[in-house]
Each structure stands twice: as structure tokens, then as C-alpha cells.
Amino acid sequence: MLYIVKGMFQMAVEANAAPEAKHTAERILRNDGIKAIALEATENNSDNGRKRGDVK
């Protein structure tokens, strides 16, 4: 399922549950050298043109 994860960033990630989505987004950013904390993860019922890993 696609989740929109928000913090000081907004990212679409694929995960099975919200906590997993938050951890995935933090890991993606950390691997790029960015230290960030995910504050919220919500299910995205439509993709709104977003693809997994997109950052806004």
C-alpha cells in the first residue's frame, strides 16, 4: 500500500503499515545523508501522480 509520510519533508513510500512507512522514509533519507524524523504517515488511496520514493 502507498503511504504519504510527512515531517520536514513529504514522501510517498510503499509499506504494509504506517510505522513501517515512517521507518522506510527515514531510512531512505538517512541513506542520502539527511537526518530527518517522520511525524505522520497516512494511507494514500489514490496515487495523485506520485511514485514510490517521490519527495516534495
In angstroms, the Cα distances linking 45 to 28, 31, 35 are 22, 27, 28
What are the boundaries of each domain within the chain? 2-39
Letter string b/e over residues 39-56, b meaning 16 or more CB atoms within 10 A of that residue's CB: eebeebeeeeebeeeeee
34 SS3 class: coil
pLDDT tens digits, 14-40: 999 999 999 999 999 999 999 999 999
First to last CA, the chain: 19
> In this model, does residue 43 exceed pLDDT 80?
yes
pLDDT for the residue numbered 45: 77
Is pTM beyond 0.85? Reply is: no
